Amino acid sequence: MERRKIPWLEADTPFPSASSALTESDGAAGLLAAGADLSPQRLLMAYRNGIFPWFSEGQPILWWSPDPRMVLQTDHFAVSASLKKTLRKVHASMRDGGPWQVRFDSAFEAVMRACAAPRDGAPGTWITDEIVAGYTGLHALGLAHSAELWCDGVLVGGAYGVCIGRMFYGESMFARVSDGSKIALAYLVHFLRCRNVGLIDCQQETAHLASLGAAPIGRDAFLRCVRAATGEAEIDDWSPLPLF
């Protein structure tokens, strides 16, 4: 059987329907299209249609819409007993002016660069300079955000993603201290839950995401959630909220 081909997008080509993405039998489940650019306008069009870019250095821009889709309901975020203890220490530090601080959007590009750094000696990253430029463009428009953990003025953990209306699309996390990414994520999830964001897109299914409470849902159900949530008003105040 001949494998299906994906369409090539020019600058003015709209995305095909997410339902036309390749399946497992095609050898690249979820791959939808290639080409175009990473302008803020193109990225917004993608996210509003349940599509995201993911490609390696030297590849063309590849656009994906997997089925099923891994998502985290903000009410289902799993916090272990040890993480809760750590979060209480961070909360006390923030309250008392101690060394640990959580900030949002104070170092967006630095978080992206930290997420792009090689891990466990693995070469390369999908967060290329082209990706950084695209998402910092969204950040400048107030549509991409970072949650950051700082210790004595040093960035030691964080996460970033895109928020359209009341829909948050998680992109990547990093940690330079134990649980650094989970601490930043816990504050982000709490903030989003308090701002009536019910769902965080996690894109791909992994055991790590499942341990945090994420679970897969069908693409059609995911797209219904996206259409409803992206039609809501934007969040106008991105300030971390106390956890306790």
pLDDT computed for residue 27 by the predictor: 80
When pLDDT is cut at 50, 70 and 90, the band that residue 3 belongs to is low
Q: Is the pLDDT of residue 244 over 70?
A: yes
130-164 burial: b if 16+ Cβ within 10 Å, else e: ebbebbebbbeeebbbbbbbbbeeebbbbbbbbbb
Tokens matching residue 46: 């993608």
Do the domains 70-230 and 8-66 match in fold?
A: no
Q: Is the pLDDT of residue 221 over 90?
A: yes
C-alpha to C-alpha distance for 106 and 168, rounded to whole angstroms: 18
- According to DSSP H, which parts of 12-167 are helical? 40-48, 81-96, 108-116, 129-140
Length of the chain: 244
Instruction: Report the top-level CATH class of 8-66.
Output: alpha beta
Q: What are the two backbone dihedrals, phi and then psi, of residue 66, each rounded to the nearest 5 degrees?
A: -70, 155
Domain spans, the chain: 8-66, 70-230
When pLDDT is cut at 50, 70 and 90, the band that residue 4 belongs to is confident
Q: 144-197: per-residue pLDDT in tens?
A: 999 999 999 999 999 999 999 999 999 999 999 999 999 999 999 999 999 999
Domain 70-230 has CATH 3.40.50.980: no
When pLDDT is cut at 50, 70 and 90, the band that residue 26 belongs to is confident
Q: What is the mean pLDDT of the chain?
A: 95
Q: Is the pLDDT of residue 1 over 50?
A: no
Q: 67-98: per-residue pLDDT in tens?
A: 999 999 999 999 999 999 999 999 999 999 99
Q: What mean pLDDT comes out for the span 214-220?
A: 97
